[in-house]
A and B are shown apart, each in its own frame.
Chain A
Amino acid sequence: MTDRREVWITGVGLLTCLGEGLEAAWDYLDGGGPPPYDDKTFAPYVVHPLGPISFDKQIPKKGDQRQMEMWQRIGVYAAGLALQDAAIAGNAELLDRTDMIIAAVGGERDVPVDTAILAGARRATDPAAFLNERLMNDLRPTLFLAQLPNLLAGNISLVHGVVGSSRTFLGEESAGIDAVRIALARVAAGQSQMTLVGGASHGVRWDQLLNFELGGVPLKGGFAPVWDRGVDGGVALASLGAFLVLESAEHATARGARPRARLRAVRSDRNRRKQGEIEATLGRQWDAIAAYVDSRHAAVISGATGLEPATSAERRALGKFGLPVRGIGTYIGHGTEAQFSANLGIGCAALEHGKLFPPSGSGDVGESPSMLSQVILTCVGAWRGEGLALLERINQGNGS
């Protein structure tokens, strides 16, 4: 398409167990320290909690903080970092026409209320009437707003003033991939000049573990890098928030914005996960971009979850790309809807530093290219959804 606009990432906001902000995450990864995880609090589950966060920095009103549950606070915080990074925070004129596509889950429960109802209903003469009575009396009116998936976007509008438009995608990793794919397509086609895209996940909680445990997803037992968890392995759920500002190169140049990277392509697919289908899908996605890739200066940052058989299937597919590979999930855990955006954020840092972070685990293969200029980001969902993106370094000066 000749009338396609070039799209840049001009802002990254990242909140992970590696710290606050993209630079903190990169410094930790580059330092090669041990992955930070917690296998005690929710034993036998292994999770990646955030360190202490001062939410006041991005959500100054305590009243706003009270109206959100943790997944929303994490998301609003990370979105604020991205807007700051793009130098548009507080710019009412620009935020008025900034669009949003957010991948979210919602549904955070009041665990003590649920637990009390489960106990009380056993003793109630009329359990259904008891349930109604307890829900009417015990649920906080504001909890519903913290459960609604679209209220992460709503809170970002309220706290940061992003009001161009707002759409929330549902559906685990695919939602995160499609959010970025459609944000890119809209900016490239001129349907949007600037879009805030991303998501947040608070996996470090009992109710969320239950949702995933019903599907046999979470990692139990000992920690290992995503590639080395074996057939009984799983996903180490994370609390993380990740947002990107996508912007047409023309718009960014006109306002003097500094680009972090060029987002060249995003592919998104689904298959039924029969044997060989993940490999076939990733193979097709790679074929669609391979002609643009200079393999001397390119590498893969994988969002592999650690769950089998998907992780091994992805590893086989990546083997055919013939590029160095790093798995980011070993370090930041798995943020489900937010994972793809987080991976893209890390990809921006790798391009800016011109190198990969050190390997960890048997699937992290190959040496970092001497001058990394292209990164392929993958995201293979625990159950469904395969995505791939091509991110490129922008040489400052000529904008090419």
Chain B
Amino acid sequence: MTASERQRGTAATRDKFDRPVVAVTGIGVVTSLGVGKPENWSKLTGGVSGIRAISRFPTNNLKSTIAGTVDEIYRDYMSPAQLSERLASLAGEEAIAQSGIGGKGYFPGPLCLAPPPLEVEWPARFVMAEMAAANGDAEYPDLLRIARQYGAEFGAFRFDILGERLSEHFGTQGSPISLNTACASGATAIQLGVEAIRRGECEVALAIGADGSVTPESLVRFSLLSALSTQNDPPQQASKPFSKNRDGFVIAEGAAALVLESLEHARSRGARVLGIVEGCGEKSDSFHRTRSSPDGKPIIACMRNALKDAGVDPEDVDYINAHGTSTPENDKMEHLGVAAVFGERASAIPISSNKSMIGHTLTAAGAVEAAFTLLTLEHQRIPPTINYSIPDPAIPLDVVPNVARDARVHRAISNSFGFGGQNVCLVLTQEPA
């Protein structure tokens, strides 16, 4: 088929750069608000917070004692690997069921997964120490002596274990991709799937972001970087993006899955199209390991790259799903970026942060928030930024304060900015006529 034949025959299923249009035909989501789209959407638009006091381990001596944990599926002790796998499975199953593609244990495309970095956890380390030196102190060489014998009991320590197990579970094709761009990981997973479909390598891809890594050490790590809110009481009011008294993010768990599919393929099988991933943009930052460049250049370039990739202008955007972590630094920089990209419209365009309700789901966040942005397009209703009682005068944005709003939203962007200067922006739209 020549390019001109292609344009004539399937004009609506190729974009203005003659690439296959990539649709979303399935969405799954799990957060501290609940399991599945209906419960999440009703609570998210109801302004309900999923943040609570941590109950799964003692929090003595910790500065932050709250989190958006997914307690309803947590049983006994689950390691981050086990919980993340469960979260990813639930989200993936919901997305695939809605899409109606494949069959039980068969998905006709690759898996692009954003898992948390996995490691040996303290409970396993303590058990190994006990086994290795029941009557004395154990050091690493002692742990090594018994490790091979009991390896299976300590479960996941391989970085590829989640990709491997989920690829078996869903029956995805080829080598599963596990990736990490810190807090932008979920968005990068979507981008990898979109690019593979655009290259013509596959017609469908399963993109999942999942993170179930709320542990004492993960809290300590973020605490030592002064990234977490310490306003523990009441937990529901700790995450307050764009507010003057914001003091950090609230760590959280969750997962989201998208079935990505070429629009041509989706239409040919009569699938319902939930939205389009019109563009993806990235830009890295070389300023600092945890802080954005003060001039906002990388964030600005990231949003502009996404709009350019979609072939649209800032005026075409109706809503911004913010990264909006509630840290003093992020929200200030995100405003700077939005102001530069959207100019005079910046203060008029609605921008809200899901993290005000669900906290920061870390490696899942980009996928969870893309899912919520797609639901915003579907329901024509914008979820609010809750806990917005003391506006930051330095951030004059329409943050959709405290109450959801009905609005005409044809096109939205979803921002994700990660430690290490890794920024991703997605452009999502309704199905073209």
Contact = CB atoms under 8 A, between A and B. Distances in A.
Nearest to A3: B3
B158 A172 contact: yes
B141 interface: yes
A27 interface: no
A111 to B, nearest CB: 6
Contacts of B288: 158
A384 B181 contact: no
Q: Considering residues B120, B137, B151, B286, which has the most beta carbons from chain A within 10 angstroms of its beta carbon? A: B286
A317 interface: no
Contacts of A215: 151, 157-158
Given A115-B140, A119-B137, A126-B60, A385 B160 contact: yes
Given A115-B139, A145-B419, A383-B158, A132 B175 contact: no
Q: Considering residues B198, B282, B287, which has the most beta carbons from chain A within 10 angstroms of its beta carbon? A: B282
A166 B180 CA distance: 10
A126 B286 CA distance: 43
Contacts of A86: none
A169 B115 CA distance: 10
Interface residues of A, number: 76
Interface string A193-233: 00000000000001101110111100000000000000000
B43 to A, nearest CB: 31
A371 interface: no
A58 B168 CA distance: 42
Interface string B286-318: 111110000000100000000000000000000
A269 B154 contact: no
Contacts of B158: 171-172, 211, 215, 383
Q: Considering residues B61, B139, B148, B284, which has the most beta carbons from chain A within 10 angstroms of its beta carbon? A: B284
Q: Considering residues B143, B216, B282, B289, which has the most beta carbons from chain A within 10 angstroms of its beta carbon? A: B289
Given A136-B62, A175-B160, A384-B164, A189 B220 contact: no
A237 B9 CA distance: 55
B200 A1 contact: yes
A165 interface: yes
A143 B154 CA distance: 24
A216 B148 contact: yes
Contact of A127 (B126, B182, B196): B126
Nearest to A165: B282
Given A141-B225, A151-B419, A211-B120, A169 B178 contact: yes
Interface stretch (A17-25, A100-108, A293-301, A353-361): A100-108
A165 B283 contact: yes
Contact of B221 (A67, A144, A162, A209): A144
B223 interface: yes
Say which size band chain B's interface belongs to: 35 or more
Interface string A121-155: 11000111101110110011101110111110111
B422 interface: yes
Contacts of A168: 179-181
B106 to A, nearest CB: 15
A167 B283 contact: no
A185 B197 CA distance: 12
A141 B179 contact: no
A270 interface: yes
B403 interface: no
Contact of B195 (A163, A186, A211): A186
B176 interface: yes
A118 interface: yes
A309 interface: no
A133 B200 contact: no
B125 A114 contact: yes
A157 interface: yes
Given A191-B195, A207-B140, A118 B126 contact: yes
A105 B167 CA distance: 20
Nearest to A158: B286
A191 B422 contact: no
B174 interface: yes
B117 A149 contact: yes
Nearest to A215: B151
Q: Considering residues B151, B154, B160, B282, which has the most beta carbons from chain A within 10 angstroms of its beta carbon? A: B160
B57 interface: yes
A389 to B, nearest CB: 14
A136 B420 contact: no
Contacts of A339: none
A100 B181 CA distance: 11
A154 B421 contact: yes
A272 to B, nearest CB: 8
A213 B182 CA distance: 27
B418 interface: yes
A139 B221 contact: yes
B284 A210 contact: no
Interface in A349-391: 383-385
A283 interface: no
B117 A154 contact: no
Nearest to A173: B160
A175 B178 contact: yes
B217 interface: yes
A115 B195 CA distance: 45
Contact of A166 (B57, B160, B224, B422): B422
A22 B5 CA distance: 48
A177 interface: yes
B177 A132 contact: no
A89 B286 CA distance: 15
A153 B420 contact: yes
A166 B138 CA distance: 40
Interface in B194-230: 195-196, 198-201, 216-217, 220-225
Contact of B174 (A127, A140, A268): A268
Contacts of A182: 177, 192
A308 to B, nearest CB: 15
Nearest to B418: A150
A106 B363 CA distance: 15
B60 A128 contact: yes
A36 interface: no
A136 B298 contact: no
Contacts of B143: 210
Interface string B126-150: 1001000000011111011001100
Given A132-B61, A206-B141, A139 B224 contact: yes
A10 interface: no
A144 B225 CA distance: 9
A154 B419 contact: yes
24 contacts: A115-B139, A132-B60, A141-B225, A144-B224, A145-B419, A148-B180, A153-B422, A157-B421, A162-B286, A163-B286, A164-B283, A166-B420, A167-B188, A170-B178, A171-B160, A172-B160, A177-B175, A178-B175, A213-B147, A214-B120, A214-B151, A215-B158, A383-B160, A385-B175
Given A136-B220, A158-B421, A213-B144, 5 more contacts: A132-B61, A136-B61, A157-B284, A165-B283, A171-B158
Interface of A: 1, 67, 100, 104-107, 111, 114-115, 118-119, 121-122, 126-129, 131-133, 135-136, 139-141, 143-145, 147-151, 153-155, 157-158, 161-172, 174-175, 177-178, 182, 185-186, 189, 191, 206-207, 209-211, 213-216, 268-270, 272, 383-385
Top 9 nearest A-B pairs (CB, nearest first) are: A154-B420, A171-B160, A165-B282, A206-B140, A129-B60, A144-B221, A214-B151, A119-B137, A141-B224
